[in-house]
Amino acid sequence: MRFAAEKDALICRRQGETIRIEAWGKDSLRVRSTMQGKFTDNRWALTEDVKERDVKVSIEKEDWCGRSTETAIVKNGRIKAVVNFAGVISFYRDDTLILREYFRCYDGTLSHESRCLKIVGREWKGIIGGSEYSLSVKFESRDGEKLFGMGQYQQPYLDLKGCTLELAQRNSQISVPFAVSSLGYGFLWNNPAVGQVTFGKNYTEWKARSTKEMDYWITAGDTPRQILENYTDATGHAGMFPEDLMGLWQCKLRYRTQEEVLSVARQYHREGIKIDQIVIDFFHWTRQGDWKFDPVYWPDPKAMTEELHSMGIKVMVSVWPSVDRKSENFYPMMERGLLIKTERGAAQTYDYQGDCVEIDPFNPETGEYVWEVCRKNYLDYGIDAFWLDNAEPDYGVYDFENYRYFQGPALELSNMYPQMYSRIFYDEMSRLGKGPVVNLLRCAWAGSQKYGNVVWSGDVPSTFEALADQLQCGLNMGLAGIPWWTTDVGGFMTDDVKDPVFLQLLIRWFQFAVYSAVLRLHGDRGPYDIPLLDDRDWGGGYMHTGQPNELWSYGRENYAIMKKYLEIRLSMHDYIKGLYEEAHINGSPLIRTMFYEFPEDKKCWELQDQYMFGDRYLVAPILHQDQFERSVYLPAGRWMLTSTQEITQGPATVNVAAPLDYMPVFEKCGDVDTK
């Protein structure tokens, strides 16, 4: 290994590989490697100009088995990388080892690691006929380490140690490849390639199926809060969330007409219930890719938005990236190269309710085209925000090797698709200066927090098992740097809205959502016995609609419970505003793992069925059918149960009654009693 020192960086070369390790923000290092002689200029998620550095680069001589070798060290504040003569990289926080590449080869540096297995930490394999490589990067596993973050995976595990995760975007799966370790570091896989990570017991392995270079970023901190603050400084801060969107968002699949939307809003007004935003879902349009209201059922969108605005209600409209072959925009976009290309077979990427190809947001001209259409057909009518659905994109078949974007193969870039899609709207809306941009997306990637993205958890089933999964999804999304996260209250897919089990689930989900970043009613509510509006095979009357999904739609008793909890939400307005400000400043999520607030409490690192809503409220959601009490762990401090005002001194485990109209919540009300 040959070493060379540059300002703030170390360059290492061996066997055709070039490695660059450089200071990148407070107590942080960026590590890149390539087999192509020079690095690309891609910064990927590391978009921010981080200036805080305390760097020292040194190259030292040492003796190994009777021969003189060199070891290189890069130190930036509390983090240090050491590279030995074989190119093995080890990372230290305050001189304590936190991470080391996995190396099982004869010329290893430590005798107990010397093996004849010929396994190296960075394995490059050229893709036959292409300029890219497949890449595997392995690290030593550490017994007892816990790992969190990484985005959203529909599974019951909060601690990801022992899990294998696909690095790919799908409906309800969100790859945000930033992990927080209980050992005091955060690790960003700064690579949008489709791949896989395995946090194994024997080793950790990151894989990219097609890439030109290795790129990761590592930071050190005493607490998850410090780690997330460093990460936010490097990848971007969420904006300031508007105060007038912190209440209830009303939505269903689907409001089919202008009059349906207005009648719902008027009813809320008569009921004396304030809704902040009403959402107009899909197939309000003529065809996918036309991006405009069907005039048969939406004859005067401007008058509609004006009436809604007069009631203090903002309006969000659904936009899909799919363009039907029969759309008026298909052939102009196809001719100009603004749609995703297929490597083989027919030019089709999506087949739901049409023969569609999705837009290519990696082409700058695509954004210009789509925005101009949506500005003219939506924004100019007074539409306030966009629901950028199917943002993964939702491919008909997730054969990523069959798709190609303007900037390269999907295998190399696809995880950035939702971020690029969102920027079509964020960049232009920001330029217009109409206040903070808040759009709704079904997917995200590292750094998406800075582009006005509220991310929801996708089309999940209406089951208690799914509700439990959403809790760990939201907690891990927060630790991956995405603080604006929400769900479809009640789940998305419901067969029978009169099913008592579903009604119980709806209430428990609503209670949970009140103590989350965004409270949004949505869902596809069966049975589908409402007649179509017309017999056309296109347009606003074509698709089915679900059953009503307003607060009053589920019976008087459930209505009363949801109204009570909406009042709780509104009473916390100033508190929630403060949480959004904190998210903007340092990246702290609104819903937080117990260990985020109590990192010194070992038990808090084991809990995944309760959480903190900010630093004040300990929330114990009801995650099982017919569960009307549950145990709750209270860390050190004084805690008041909100139902009885009874105060308990922690640490303690208590049993709490949870009738249907109450979800256990404790308010932190003072310092630890040391007497």
**Gyration radius of the chain's alpha carbons:** 26
Indicate if the pLDDT at residue 281 is higher than 50: yes
Task: Classify residue 605: in a domain, yes or no.
Answer: yes
Share in percent of the chain as helix, strand, coil (round to 5): 25, 30, 45
Mean pLDDT score of the chain: 95
Yes or no: say if 138 and 121 are a contact pair by the CB < 8 Å rule: yes
Identify whether 215 is part of a domain. Answer: yes
Render pLDDT for 125-157 as a digit per residue (tens, 0 to 9): 999 877 889 999 999 999 999 999 999 999 999
Q: Is 392 a catalytic residue?
A: yes
Of the chain, the percentage scoring pLDDT greater than 70 comes to 97
- A 10 A CB-CB count for 456 gives 27
In-domain check, residue 106: yes
Dist CA 94 CA 395 (whole Å): 46
Question: In what helix (H) or strand (E) does residue 7 lie, and over which residues does it extend?
Answer: none
Query: Cα separations (Å) of 296 from 256, 299, 426, 630?
Result: 11, 6, 30, 52
pLDDT bucket at 648, cuts 50 / 70 / 90? very high
pLDDT class for 1, splitting at 50, 70, 90? Answer: confident
Which residue is listed with tokens 């932190």? 668
Whether residue 398 lies inside any domain: the answer is no
Active site residue 389: yes
Number of domains in the chain: 2
What separation in angstroms does the CA of 327 have from each of 208, 324, 404, 601, 638? 36, 5, 22, 58, 61
For residue 111, is pLDDT > 90?
no
> What pLDDT was estimated at residue 538?
92
Predicted pLDDT of residue 64: 64
Q: Which residues contact 627 (CB under 8 A, 6 or more apart)?
A: 658
Active-site residue, from 205, 215, 389, 597:
389
358 pLDDT above the threshold of 90: yes
Percent of the chain whose pLDDT exceeds 90: 92
d(CA 71, CA 62): 7
Q: Is 397 exposed, middle or buried (0-12, 13-18, 19+ CB in 10 A)?
A: exposed
Which residues have CB under 8 Å from 525's CB, separation 6+?
Answer: 252, 253, 494, 497, 546, 547, 548, 549
Q: How many C-alpha atoms does 299 have within 13 Å on its Cβ side?
A: 2
Peptide bond into 630 cis (omega under 30): no
Dist CA 330 CA 348 (whole Å):
12
Q: Which pLDDT tens digit goes with each residue over 155-164? A: 999 999 999 9
DSSP codes, 57-118 = EEEEEEEETTEEEEEEEEEETTEEEEE-TT--EEEEETTEEEEEB--BSTT-SSGGG--SS-
C-beta atoms surrounding 73 within 10 Å = 18
Residue 44 lies in a domain: yes
The pLDDT, as a whole number, for residue 529 is: 95
Instruction: Report the alpha-carbon distance of residue 74 to residue 318 in Å, rounded.
Output: 48
How is 360-421 classified by DSSP, letter by letter?
A: -TTSHHHHHHHHHHHHHHTGGGT--EEEE-STTT--SS--GGGEEETTEEHHHHGGGHHHHH
Per the document, the length of the chain is 675
Single-letter amino acid code for the residue at 44: W
Question: Which of 198, 215, 235 is a domain's end point?
Answer: 235
Give the burial class of 512: count Cβ atoms within 10 A of its Cβ; 0-12 exposed, 13-18 middle, 19 or more buried: buried
d(CA 160, CA 139): 15
Query: How far is the C-alpha of 372 from the C-alpha of 96, rounded, in Å?
Result: 54
Query: Cα–Cα distance between 132 and 146 in angstroms, integer?
Result: 33
DSSP assignment of 529-581: -SPPS-S-SSSTTTS------SGGGG-HHHHHHHHHHHHHHHHTHHHHHHHHH
The last residue of a domain, from among 235, 252, 270: 235
* pLDDT band of 105, cuts 50, 70, 90: confident
Burial of 213 (0-12, 13-18, 19+ CB in 10 A): buried
Q: Which of 235, 258, 288 is the last residue of a domain?
A: 235
CATH number at residue 616: 2.60.40.1180
Q: What is the CATH number of the domain that holds 93?
A: 2.60.40.1760
Among the options 132, 392, 394, 609, which is catalytic? 392
Q: What is residue 488's predicted lDDT score, i.e. its pLDDT? A: 98
pLDDT above 60 for 354:
yes
The active-site residue out of 459, 469, 488, 524 is 459
Mean pLDDT, residues 15-27 taken together: 96
Segment 446-466 shows an average pLDDT of 98
Q: Tell whether 631 is covered by a domain.
A: yes
Distance CA 28, CA 224 (A): 14
User: For residue 475, what are its two tokens?
Assistant: 């907690």
Mean pLDDT for 248-275 is: 98
Residue 641 lies in a domain: yes
The answer to whether the beta carbons of residues 344 and 354 sit under 8 Å apart is no
Beta partners for residue 170, in sequence order: 173
- Residue 163 belongs to some domain of the structure: yes
Which structural domain, as residue segments, surrounds residue 598? Answer: 593-668
Question: What is the pLDDT at residue 66?
Answer: 62
